[in-house]
Amino acid sequence: PTANGNFSATITIQNQGTVAADGGYLDVWANQSAIQRCGAEGDGWVDVGVLAAGATKTVTVSGLPAGAAGAKVARAFVDSWCETSEANEVNNQMTKAYTVQ
């Protein structure tokens, strides 16, 4: 991304469970290294919808603010409102380091 511009993030989500489940909202932060709590609002979001067991879905979240030049950590949080009961809740967030030019 270019400093002080906007960028898009393309994220692939996988239902690692054994039954179909609603992925809820995927919230994305342009620069957030800390684990987020249920209901936290990201810089952008998309409604994931239902994924079959083992299925993947790739989504794009646009309009994320790049901010100043430097190293950043993007965070994605699927089912960010924690509305879907899951056997494993700890795998709903991930981060990716990147550099704003």
The tokens describing 25, both together, are 């909202």
What does the pLDDT profile of the chain (101 residues) look like in tens digits?
Answer: 999 999 999 999 999 999 999 999 999 999 999 999 999 999 999 999 999 999 999 999 999 999 999 999 999 999 999 999 887 888 999 999 999 99
CB 35 within 8 A of CB 99: no
Position 89 scores a pLDDT of 81
Position 7 scores a pLDDT of 98
Largest CA distance in the chain: 43
pTM given for the model: 0.94
Report the alpha-carbon distance of residue 51 to residue 35 in Å, rounded.
24
Position 86 scores a pLDDT of 84
DSSP character for 18? Answer: S
Report the alpha-carbon distance of residue 57 to residue 5 in Å, rounded.
27
